[in-house]
């Protein structure tokens, strides 16, 4: 089993990453957060880090964040595009603009594809992870009901889009997310066809509630543009037993594949704190047959109190699951 690590925090955090230490403890892959606003001014620093990591033998996957807030789980991350293109934002079921671009808007799609082609060309990574591509949803209010979504829905269902989130609307949103991922993957593969695309659905332990458009994992993983899934295990947020949650999520994703056999990676929150149970979770994932676990993130593990004492335990655990 490969063990990777997510590096968030932007260019400032990249300057603090100890590549040699990560190599020594057995980390095999780096998932590097790439922020829309930072790439406008610090693209060369990001590219230099990716080159140095690849030269050191790491597999490097880019995680675009903030780009129109369509692939962005953190509402605190800024997007200049969202701030300056209000006419391309999603419209919710109450008729209000959301702080999130619409993945069906042709203007946004054209800009996003262009940005991803440039990013792929500059960073020379091994692949991309599309982190929670989604529509807006909050307390029963959902999006999107912009003119493009309504036209596409009418063309698919032959009736006007309703204001309630019925099954036809849910199906339309899932299909729209798959098409967005197809466009994103096509953009980066136009630069290098070897670049893989992973998708991280919205975190859940219950895939029967599809409020964001990504709960149907089988539809995502059957998509020709998707080379695998990355599943964050929200065991602490849901107060679940982590070993059981890891096993069930991985099993669920594997069963959802009808005609494919694509990898499903597990992401877990990590820190030196005993309550995060990092070593135990790594061993549980290994026993479940998970091909890769990604620890999130570098800062919470290696710049937290107790990190010096924790590193040796983490190294031993990685050695055990890598055998």
pLDDT in tens, 11-43: 989 989 999 999 999 999 999 999 999 998 999
**pLDDT over 60 (residue 66):** yes
**pLDDT over 60 (residue 309):** yes
Domain count of the chain?
A: 1
Find the CATH number of the domain harbouring 114: 3.20.20.80
- pLDDT of 81 reads 95
Nearest to 3 by CA among 285, 202, 309, 311: 285
pLDDT tens profile 269-301: 999 999 999 999 999 999 999 999 999 999 999
**Eight-state DSSP code of residue 280:** H
Q: Across all residues in the chain, what is the average pLDDT?
A: 92
Burial (Cβ within 10 Å: 0-12, 13-18, ≥19) of residue 51: middle
Beta strands 89-91; 97-101: pairing state? antiparallel
Phi, psi angle pair for 304, to nearest 5°: -105, 160
Residue 72: band (very low, low, confident or very high) from pLDDT cuts 50, 70, 90: confident
Segment holding 283, helix H or strand E: helix 278-288
Residue 221: band (very low, low, confident or very high) from pLDDT cuts 50, 70, 90: confident
**pLDDT over 70 (residue 206):** no
- pLDDT of 46 reads 95
Lowest model confidence (mean pLDDT) among 86-90, 202-206, 226-230, 251-255: 202-206
Q: Give the whole-angstrom CA distance, residue 39 versus residue 27.
A: 26
- pLDDT of 131 reads 94
- pLDDT of 220 reads 86
Which domain range does residue 272 map to?
2-321
């Amino acid at each position: 089993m490969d063990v990777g690590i997510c590096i968030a925090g932007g260019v400032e955090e990249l300057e603090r990453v100890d590549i040699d230490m990560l190599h020594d403890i057995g980390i095999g892959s780096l998932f590097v957060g790439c922020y829309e606003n930072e790439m406008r001014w610090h693209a060369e620093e990001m590219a230099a880090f990716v080159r140095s990591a690849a030269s050191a033998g790491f597999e490097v996957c880019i995680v675009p964040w903030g780009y129109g807030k369509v692939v962005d789980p953190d509402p605190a991350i800024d997007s200049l595009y969202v701030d300056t293109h209000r006419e391309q934002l999603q419209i919710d079921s109450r008729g209000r603009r959301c702080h999130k671009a619409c993945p069906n808007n042709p203007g946004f799609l054209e800009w996003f594809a262009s940005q991803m082609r440039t990013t792929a060309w500059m960073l020379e990574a091994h692949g991309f992870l599309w982190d929670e591509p989604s529509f807006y949803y909050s307390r029963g209010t959902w999006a999107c009901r912009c003119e493009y979504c309504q036209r596409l829905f009418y063309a698919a269902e032959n009736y006007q889009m309703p204001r309630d989130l019925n099954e036809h609307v849910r199906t339309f949103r899932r299909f729209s997310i798959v098409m967005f991922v197809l466009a994103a993957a096509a953009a980066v593969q136009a630069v290098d066809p070897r670049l893989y695309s992973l998708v991280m659905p919205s975190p859940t332990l219950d895939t029967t509630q599809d409020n964001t458009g990504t709960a149907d994992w089988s539809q995502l993983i059957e998509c020709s543009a998707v080379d695998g899934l990355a599943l964050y295990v929200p065991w602490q947020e849901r107060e679940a037993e982590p070993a059981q949650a890891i096993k069930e999520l991985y099993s669920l994703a594997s069963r959802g594949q009808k005609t494919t056999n694509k990898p499903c990676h597990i992401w877990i929150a990590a820190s030196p704190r005993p309550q995060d149970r990092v070593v135990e979770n790594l061993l549980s994932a290994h026993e479940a047959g998970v091909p890769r676990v990604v620890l999130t993130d570098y800062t919470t593990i290696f710049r937290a109190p107790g990190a010096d004492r924790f590193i040796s335990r983490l190294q031993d655990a990685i050695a055990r699951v890598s055998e």
